[in-house]
């Protein structure tokens, strides 16, 4: 019994250090998750993925972009507009309206 106790006491500093590292990684992951949620990056990613490979923008993609325009940061909206221009052969006037919103945000 005493050998188990002394072994546990010997491992205590190592376990404390491991706990500090785990706590550090957990808090970093929490901060990243909060930033993703705040900037709606998951939604921006989904809209961008939906636009890639389309020959022309679907009305749903345009609606999604317009809905995100108010909530996204300007750099995220710019990324979506660039994806629209680079991925699609035709870019509707609604996307040009998003460009105007983007220039107003800056």
Q: What confidence tens digit (pLDDT) does each residue in 20-65 have?
A: 999 999 999 999 999 999 988 998 888 888 888 777 777 777 778 7
CA–CA dist 61, 54 (Å, integer) = 10
| Statement to judge: residues 20 and 44 lie in one domain | no
| Statement to judge: residues 51 and 69 lie in one domain | yes
Whether pLDDT at 1 is above 90: no
Quote the pTM value: 0.66
Closest CA to 78 of 100, 51, 49: 100
| Statement to judge: residues 52 and 97 lie in one domain | yes
Domain limits at 20? 1-39
Q: Which two tokens stand for residue 55?
A: 């020959």
For 21, phi and psi rounded to 5 degrees? -65, -40
- Per-residue pLDDT, 58: 73
CA–CA dist 47, 83 (Å, integer) = 10
Confidence grade of residue 16 (pLDDT, cut at 50, 70, 90) = very high
- Total structural domains within the chain: 2
Contact 21, 54 (CB under 8 A): no
| Statement to judge: residues 45 and 85 lie in one domain | yes
| Statement to judge: residues 30 and 80 lie in one domain | no
| Statement to judge: residues 59 and 103 lie in one domain | yes
């Amino acid at each position: 019994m005493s050998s188990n106790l002394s072994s546990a006491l010997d491992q205590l500093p190592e376990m404390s250090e491991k706990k500090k590292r785990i706590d550090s990684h957990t808090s970093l992951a929490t901060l990243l998750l909060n930033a993703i949620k705040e900037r709606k990056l998951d939604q921006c990613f989904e809209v961008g993925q939906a636009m890639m490979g389309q020959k022309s923008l679907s009305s749903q993609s345009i609606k999604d972009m317009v809905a995100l325009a108010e909530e996204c940061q300007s750099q995220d909206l710019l990324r979506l507009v660039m994806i629209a221009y680079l991925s699609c052969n035709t870019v509707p006037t609604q996307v040009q309206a998003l460009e105007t919103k983007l220039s107003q945000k800056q």
